[in-house]
Every structure is written in C-alpha cells, then in structure tokens.
C-alpha cells in the first residue's frame, strides 16, 4: 500500500494539513483517535466515508515522516 494514493496536502484544505484524499479528515485527527485508544473500527464508524486502508495510510504517512525527520537529524548531528 502506498500512502501517497490516500493522503495529500493542499493549502486550500485545512491550511495544508495532510488529509485523506477526497475528505477534510486530517491525518492528525486519525492519529488523535488512535492515541486515545480508538480502534480502526471505531474510527470507521465515526467517519463512514473512510476505509481501513485510509487509516493505515495515515499511519504509514506518519511513519515515513518520522523516518525522514530522524534521518535529517542524524545528518545535522554529523
């Protein structure tokens, strides 16, 4: 699964926050649900236009962002 097929950022939507394509549901909101202990099923129930793949894409996007940040930090420290 390529998160780029599901997540995008547009300055005209939520100030450019990454969102699930075709929605105004931000990656941030999905992560907040997960951090509060919500299951994927609960997220999908609250936002019936999302799919399980959309939720996984939000997590994959965040993972890639963190890996990129860590790599940049290591380069700066060197």
Tens digit of pLDDT for each residue in 24-58? Answer: 999 999 999 999 999 999 999 999 999 999 999 99
Q: Report how far Cα 21 is from the mean position of its chain's Cα atoms.
A: 11
Over range 53-71, report the average pLDDT.
93
- What CATH architecture is 3-77? Orthogonal Bundle (1.10)
Task: Kindly report whether the global pTM for this prediction surpasses the value 0.85.
Answer: yes
* Pair 19, 25: CB distance under 8 Å: yes
Over range 10-20, report the average pLDDT.
97
Q: What whole-number distance in Å separates Cα of residue 45 and Cα of residue 55?
A: 12
């Amino acid at each position: 699964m390529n998160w780029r097929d599901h997540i995008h950022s547009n300055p005209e939507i939520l100030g450019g926050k990454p969102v699930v394509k075709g929605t105004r549901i931000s990656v941030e909101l999905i992560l907040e649900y997960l951090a509060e202990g919500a299951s994927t099923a609960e997220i999908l129930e609250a936002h019936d236009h999302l799919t399980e793949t959309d939720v996984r894409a939000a997590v994959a996007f965040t993972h890639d962002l963190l890996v990129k940040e860590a790599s940049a930090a290591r380069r700066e420290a060197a």
